[in-house]
Structure 1
Amino acid sequence: MAGRMRVAEQRACLHCGRHVSRDFRRTFGDNENRAHRCRNCDTHTRIAHGSAAGVTVDIPDPETSLGRHGDGSDQVVDDGGERA
């Protein structure tokens, strides 16, 4: 059973737990084909720079930055479209 659990864990993103394909893990994952981040929890640009392999990248993380690019430009305005 322990071996079976290990295979199941490898099929999931280590950050968010979402299923990631074998091809994704092989292409973007680390040397053990584990995905540390996936398309569900990170941007393609960060993944392409190594975040899925566990590499720290200089591009802002969408989970901790205001906008998806880290500059706040993606903030939703809920005041009828007028900004103060």
Structure 2
Amino acid sequence: MAVRLRFEAQKEECLHCGSHVTRDFRRVYGDSNDRAHRCFECDTLVRLQRGSAAGLDVPIPDPQLAPGRHGGEPGRWP
């Protein structure tokens, strides 16, 4: 009797924006299954370090939902 093992490849893209993420990024910042829910393209380093890449809710405002943060609103700065 032959046993067939099923191998699932790791997702090499951010689950939020679809950008490519490296295996090391997924291993360090991702969830327990090495999947990245957010990446450098769609989130900030501070939020990623607090767990947003692992799919956790963090208290820091999301730059995509709060466009005035992180220089996203051009009329804000004199």
TM-score, normalised to structure 2, is 0.79
Distance (whole Å) between structure 2 residues aligned to residue 18 and residue 65 of structure 1: 21
Give the partner amino acid of 1:64: L
Give the partner amino acid of 1:42: D
Distance (whole Å) between structure 2 residues aligned to residue 7 and residue 63 of structure 1: 29
Give the number of equivalent residue pairs.
71
Query: What is the deviation of 1:68?
Result: 2.8
Task: Give yes or no for the alignment of 1:44 onto 2:45.
Answer: yes
Distance (whole Å) between structure 2 residues aligned to residue 61 and residue 75 of structure 1: 14
Relative distance call for 1:15 and 1:74 in structure 2 (3 A) is closer
- Structure 1 residue aligned with 2:30: 29
Root-mean-square deviation (CA, aligned residues, Å) is: 2.0
- Residue aligned with 1:7, SS: coil
Q: Which has the higher contact order (CA 8 A, sep 6+)?
A: 2
Give the partner amino acid of 1:62: P
Query: What is the deviation of 1:66?
Result: 2.6
Aligned identity (percent) is 51
- Residue aligned with 2:63, SS: coil
Query: What is the deviation of 1:50?
Result: 0.1
After superposition, residues 69-84 of structure 1 pair within 5 angstroms as 69=70, 74-77=72-75
After superposition, residues 60-71 of structure 1 pair within 5 angstroms as 60-69=61-70
Q: Which runs of 5+ in 2 are unaligned?
A: 1-5
